[in-house]
Structure 1
Amino acid sequence: MRKPVQVSIYVDEGCWAGVAILIKELLVIAGTLHSRNFDLDASALFQITLAGPSEAAVRSFTGTMITPDQAIRNSGPPPQVIVIPPYYFFDAQAVPVRANFRRWLVRAYERGAILLGFDGGVRVLAASGLLDGHEVTGNLSDQKAFAQHYSPVRFSPHVPLVTDGRIVTATGTAPSMDACAYLVNHFYGEAAAHKFSRYTNPVRRPVYERTELIDVVLKNHADHRIRQAQEFIERHFNQDISVEDAARRAAMSLRNFTRRFHTAVGMTALNYISHCRVEHAKKMLELRGGPVLQVALECGFNNEASFRRAFHQICEQTPMQYRKASMMKKKPSATP
């Protein structure tokens, strides 16, 4: 039987205790859902530890005392995942980080760990220097701090969930759940992630979150730069973007990017752009009426004809046929 993935949730003075516990319980729930077994030890997909600067209790933002399971260690096997919960900072000053905390982070990351940062916790990660050159999200109020102290980090606070290689950041409650779903998918596959998402976040999500989860199966590859390009496409598909734009985002030549994208994803980058646009269009057709041309333009197509061709190629039906079929599914069945 596969050993559970080792996860450390770092708790320190001023952290949001509720979110730290929420993340722990979400990852525990992933195991019980996957195995349909309420024996927490037997069903565990993740072995979660609260790690602190020492084993002494720390005071959370609201005054709740949290006792770490263990102190961070710079010896022995590092965790496979490190989670930094939210913190609230009153100003835009640089965040001081403990030297042993930074060594612990760097050592784990160099050995392949995934780093998850939530809201203000992203500033803690940024202070370690490990986010330099990466794109992240976080609190909109932290824009000034990132501009002043962490300028090498590409800060995109309007995006709820960003995965850039082994750096995963989220802002808000629902994206935090999706970040956990990303972990489940990364280590245990799409089926386990889908089951987890249906249980923990069943409410219809905005398109930006739904696209992230729809396309997660197409990210089961090891090419981090191509995943970065995929995430760029997913955020900008409704704009006038091109394959060249995505190649530049991945800092690759067009020829090399085209080859590596097809090898990693199994389709061309141009088809991937169409895929994202059509997925968006399907939800728009399900949720509202109106002209097909309007749907086409809002999804990033230049005209209705190109939209119809792409839609039929992917869905094997026209947009109107898809809308009619979705409306029929919504109609309550007649009772005898």
Structure 2
Amino acid sequence: MTAVALAVTDGMLHFELALACEVFGSHAPAGADSWYDLSLCGPGAVRAGRFRLEPDRGLDALAGADTVIVPGWVDVDQPPPAELIDAVRAAHEAGARVASLCTGAFVLAAAGLLEGRRATTHWAHTQVLAERHPRVTVDPDVLYVDDGRVLTSAGKAAAMDLCLHLVRLDHGSAVANALARRLVVPPHRDGGQAQFVTTPVPAPGNHPLAELFPWVMARLDQPLGVEDLARRARMSSRHLGRHFRSVTGTTPLQWLLTQRIRRAQELLETTDDTLDAIATATGMGTATTLRRHFHRTVGVPPDAYRRTFRVRARLGGDGQLPGIQGVIVD
């Protein structure tokens, strides 16, 4: 099992804390050979919002974890506790992968883990983080940043995106998608996607594209275009584009390409199908087209992607793909 430690102290945001507990503390989804051993580490009984928590272990136990998760910090105007900063720094020095959720980035920055790195936090606090830590390259326009052993996410729902990204690195896309289905959340949003869009996002399942998405996912092997999607949704291409931008923050074609690439990742990880077969199954036609789109979006050729996951499966590793920085699909 992979040891995951959740750093808890007074002043943590309870939403991000509970979210991490749900992802890493629940039972393994279908397809996972192993899972996580989650522990809450704190200085004693702590309060997160209106809730009182009894940690399993002290903060010094962070140094023995494989992955350390730092939830959001309520009051960014106040410095995080020195004992928390020291414990997070010691864990990183001991070799742990450290990830912050939302304003937990302020803890990582105070510990010096973001020096010379690219990072993000909730968009409302990115300017404060940049001003307070000028040696950190703060990106206000992304959902999360993967900088190897140090990862940061934006606020609220983006914290789920980062947690699923960690699961995907450790266990592959198929397992991460199975977990996402169980949690009833989108299986993957691009880390480079904007943190928010200017138009309102309708409630899940209560928008004009609710029936279109599963229809498309069942037909990724077909040469679908914007006109096909518009016809199925019974609207003009222009209206389809507007709804897509509202619901997904991107265009129909970019969303469709993302789904094709994600499906190709799953097939590369879980089957021995040839690239031609995968290209056909994902609607990309030829291995040449698959290679071009896959390399451009993922950062490595599909052959290298498959080899990396096969080696990791045999030997066990940290899941970090060489040459990929930030996200699986950009």
Whichever residue aligns with residue 59 of structure 1, its letter is: R
1:67 corresponds to 2:50 = no
Counterpart of 1:187 (choices 161, 166, 170) is: 170
Specify the alignment match of 1:11 in structure 2: 8
The 1:7–1:282 alpha-carbon spacing in structure 2 relative to 1, beyond 3 Å, is farther
Specify the alignment match of 2:289 in structure 1: 314
SS state at 1:73 partner: helix
Does the 8 Å CA contact 2:10/2:46 hold for their aligned counterparts?
A: yes
Matching of residues 282-301 of structure 1 within 5 Å: 287-288=229-230, 290=237
Does the 8 Å CA contact 1:14/1:88 hold for their aligned counterparts?
A: yes
Inter-partner Cα distance in structure 1 for 2:92 and 2:187 = 34
The 1:44–1:142 alpha-carbon spacing in structure 2 relative to 1, beyond 3 Å, is same
Specify the alignment match of 2:309 in structure 1: none
Matching of residues 1-336 of structure 1 within 5 Å: 4-29=1-26, 31-34=28-31, 45-52=35-42, 54=43, 56-60=44-48, 62-73=49-60, 78-89=64-75, 91=77, 95-98=79-82, 100-203=83-186, 209=189, 211=190, 287-288=229-230, 290=237, 313-314=288-289
User: Of the two, which has the highest radius of gyration?
Assistant: 1
SS state at 1:108 partner: helix
Structure 1 residue 196: Cα displacement = 1.8
Uncovered stretches (5+) of structure 2, i.e. residues with no partner: 195-222, 231-235, 242-249, 255-283, 292-330
Inter-partner Cα distance in structure 2 for 1:131 and 1:194 = 29
Whichever residue aligns with residue 160 of structure 1, its letter is: L
Whichever residue aligns with residue 29 of structure 1, its letter is: S
Uncovered stretches (5+) of structure 1, i.e. residues with no partner: 36-42, 213-230, 236-280, 300-309, 317-336
Identify the structure with the greater helix proportion. 1
Structure 1 residue 7: Cα displacement = 0.7
Inter-partner Cα distance in structure 1 for 2:157 and 2:136 = 24
Q: Taking every aligned residue pair, what percent have the same amino acid on both sides?
A: 24
**1:57-112 per-position Cα deviation (integer Å, ceiling 9, x unaligned):** 1122x33211111111169x621111111122264x6x2441x4333222321333
Greater RCO, CA 8 A, separation 6+: 2
Does the 8 Å CA contact 1:7/1:83 hold for their aligned counterparts?
A: yes
Inter-partner Cα distance in structure 2 for 1:50 and 1:71 = 8
**1:19-56 per-position Cα deviation (integer Å, ceiling 9, x unaligned):** 21221122233614445xxxxxxx8611111111x2x2
Inter-partner Cα distance in structure 1 for 2:147 and 2:224 = 27
Q: TM-score, with normalisation over the residues of structure 1? A: 0.55
SS state at 1:120 partner: helix
Structure 1 residue 282: Cα displacement = 7.4
Specify the alignment match of 1:256 in structure 2: none
Structure 1 residue 311: Cα displacement = 8.6
The 1:90–1:122 alpha-carbon spacing in structure 2 relative to 1, beyond 3 Å, is closer
Does the 8 Å CA contact 1:97/1:127 hold for their aligned counterparts?
A: no
Does the 8 Å CA contact 1:78/1:107 hold for their aligned counterparts?
A: no
Inter-partner Cα distance in structure 2 for 1:314 and 1:83 = 38
Inter-partner Cα distance in structure 2 for 1:283 and 1:69 = 52
Does the 8 Å CA contact 2:19/2:160 hold for their aligned counterparts?
A: no
Inter-partner Cα distance in structure 2 for 1:285 and 1:8 = 48
Does the 8 Å CA contact 1:81/1:116 hold for their aligned counterparts?
A: yes
Does the 8 Å CA contact 1:28/1:44 hold for their aligned counterparts?
A: no
Does the 8 Å CA contact 1:177/1:200 hold for their aligned counterparts?
A: no
Inter-partner Cα distance in structure 2 for 1:286 and 1:153 = 45
Specify the alignment match of 1:222 in structure 2: none
Whichever residue aligns with residue 119 of structure 1, its letter is: C
Does the 8 Å CA contact 2:41/2:57 hold for their aligned counterparts?
A: yes
**1:246-301 per-position Cα deviation (integer Å, ceiling 9, x unaligned):** xxxxxxxxxxxxxxxxxxxxxxxxxxxxxxxxxxx97867655659xx999x97xx
Q: TM-score, with normalisation over the residues of structure 2? A: 0.56
Does the 8 Å CA contact 1:177/1:201 hold for their aligned counterparts?
A: no
Specify the alignment match of 2:327 in structure 1: none
Does the 8 Å CA contact 1:138/1:171 hold for their aligned counterparts?
A: yes
Specify the alignment match of 2:212 in structure 1: none
Whichever residue aligns with residue 289 of structure 2, its letter is: I
Structure 1 residue 171: Cα displacement = 2.0
Structure 1 residue 178: Cα displacement = 2.2
Inter-partner Cα distance in structure 1 for 2:165 and 2:225 = 22
